[in-house]
Structure 1
């Protein structure tokens, strides 16, 4: 059912002042973009590792409850660590000072990846084995989304490493013309994806992304847009 206030709701999303809960993370990244010049300056003086270390300390104190600044329902001091992590890794990779290819790291990361995967689908696995579902409520707190709990942060790091590992080991998988063109225009594609999220979310306040048809619609629309861009972009360059 389409909301009677569709246009005001859509404008609220576009200007980031009236967002539904699942979109309230976006203003944090808009604010963090302002700090990029400062982050570049810190990297030039102290290096990316110390920039990330400072960011991690801020995240740690946020987990203890000493730092709490909410943008929507998300803690800014917690979520900044992901932005800084990505920035620092990018700088280290560009400067060729990133080395994370030891066998010990690979074994540890892929073990954690399997553990997180089993935790994510624990209910399905236990039901398939006719075993009563166990109480993991105490672990769920460590996966806090609003405060970026320790296990959620670690889960992100593990997934990032898995992608990094496979993109390096099987680089031929990422050398297609389509993916290269998508990579060159990743910002525009991300912007288009956000627009789709806003447009669909504004239809109804009850429309959340846990619903299968919403995810399917977003995925289909995004794939079509990527295909069209990859097919025709070269003609206008």
Structure 2
């Protein structure tokens, strides 16, 4: 859905045509950090330290290289790569103390049919349920936080998760939390029923637009600054004359 709203043509390349893309160095760094932050909660609370997180890095990195061997050609300086990963973990531990709480779910799969023709699903990085029942949805980002005025767009993903959880479990999450490790910032929001109802309407609208595009075969391009990072720019009608 993010791809379609950013550029319907990009959605077509990825979701309809299923064109292959090379691994993204930033995305792969994110996967590495996410893996470590998931695994550290396997340890007893007292052992969830920065040093333990760093100790998990080599094994997580080896598993990632085995799964995506193309990374060997992308990561030319492994020491620099690992130093950057350690810096991001340092930033995480300055924002949260994982020894003080127990996460209820990690990589929680949420799913629901939002219409007869549209199935929606996603994976939540972490979902915490307090002893008193309050639900907190947490998402890690290894990049930098959005510029002022763009926070609402960043929170859309978590509102979708909140909507799915609310619809499936009948509990309105109390807190949405985005953790940005790139610049050591967090964004928090307390979702309301009105916000999540609005999110559901937006999802249905996007779903209808996707179905119309599939039926008509019309996936318009949408030029923006994001084009400079798009692998498909070389074949995109907006850039190929």
- TM-score, with structure 2 as normaliser: 0.28
The structure carrying a bigger helix percent of its residues is: 1
The structure carrying a bigger strand percent of its residues is: 2
Q: Which has the higher contact order (CA 8 A, sep 6+)?
A: 1
Q: Greater CA radius of gyration, 1 or 2?
A: 1
- TM-score, with structure 1 as normaliser: 0.28
